[in-house]
Amino acid sequence: MPATLSIYDILSKVKMLDKEEQLTLLEMIVALIRKNETQITPTKLSKISGIGSKVWKHTNIDEYIDQERQW
């Protein structure tokens, strides 16, 4: 058995499983992916402070608010 398996090696092995085992494997893979998504650490608001300052640098805030209120 090689040290690493390619996706094609894994797929050929999955094809040898019966339908029920394939579905179980699929559920396990989905659960694994979802678990990894939930482990993302949230960004603290203090880290993004000032992120939009370049966008708003040359904008007159009072004029902008007046324009937004007109539509």
Task: For residue 34, give the amino acid letter.
Answer: R
The C-alpha atoms of residue 21 and residue 27 are separated, in whole angstroms, by 10
Assess if residue 58 is contained within a domain. yes
The number of folded domains in the chain is 1
C-alpha distances (whole Å) from 47 to each of 42, 43, 44 are 11, 7, 6
Mean pLDDT of 52-67: 87
Question: Considering the entire predicted model, what is its pTM?
Answer: 0.46
Query: pLDDT at position 40, please?
Result: 66
Assess if residue 2 is contained within a domain. no
List pLDDT tens digits, range 1-40: 456 889 999 999 999 999 999 999 999 999 988 887 666 6
Check pLDDT > 90 for residue 71.
no
Assess if residue 1 is contained within a domain. no
